[in-house]
Amino acid sequence: MNSFNPLDLVASRESMEEGLISLARNAERTHAVLAAAYFAVGGANYAVFDVQIFGEDGVVLSLDEVESRLLGKKEILGQPQVHRVELSVGPAVRLHAQCQSEGVLGFGKRLSEGISYALLVPQTSDVLLATMTWRAREHGDQLTRMANALMSTLSFVPLDTEGRPLSGSGSPSGT
């Protein structure tokens, strides 16, 4: 918050703080293992990025099943763009869609756009879901490039119970 020039702010300091608290609560509610928010110079929130890991004991999903579950989200509007992509850690499903959030009693619905990457975590039965969403649709092309670039840097480093990379697993940069 202190890095923003008060003269450049288009949002009040209080609304920015409330927004960050709301984003943090949402990340906690959805059990995100990583959450980030992108702000413009004036303090407007342009995008949110989070990573969640899902899994169920004894259940191993295929990419087809993961894709089906992604497309089953009721918030998706229109025809989403779905592609299979090859990331450095393996194959993934990439979903680019417009969504509508639910409002209270039908009021307050909001349109957003987002990109989700779902991939099967190597050596586990878990699914990693990384999602970037935004409402600033005028910046959609730039945010799409950012999401794609961010996902291209994903790596897999198995850790021991103490959080140290297992021998021979590569760089300790994390997943």
State residue 131 phi and psi, 5-degree precision: -135, 135
- Say what the pLDDT of residue 148 is: 93
More reliable by pLDDT, 56 or 9: 56
Instruction: Give dist(CA 123, CA 133) in Å, integer.
Output: 29
- Say what the pLDDT of residue 171 is: 47
Instruction: Give dist(CA 102, CA 120) in Å, integer.
Output: 29
Q: How confident is the model at residue 78 (pLDDT cuts 50, 70, 90)?
A: confident
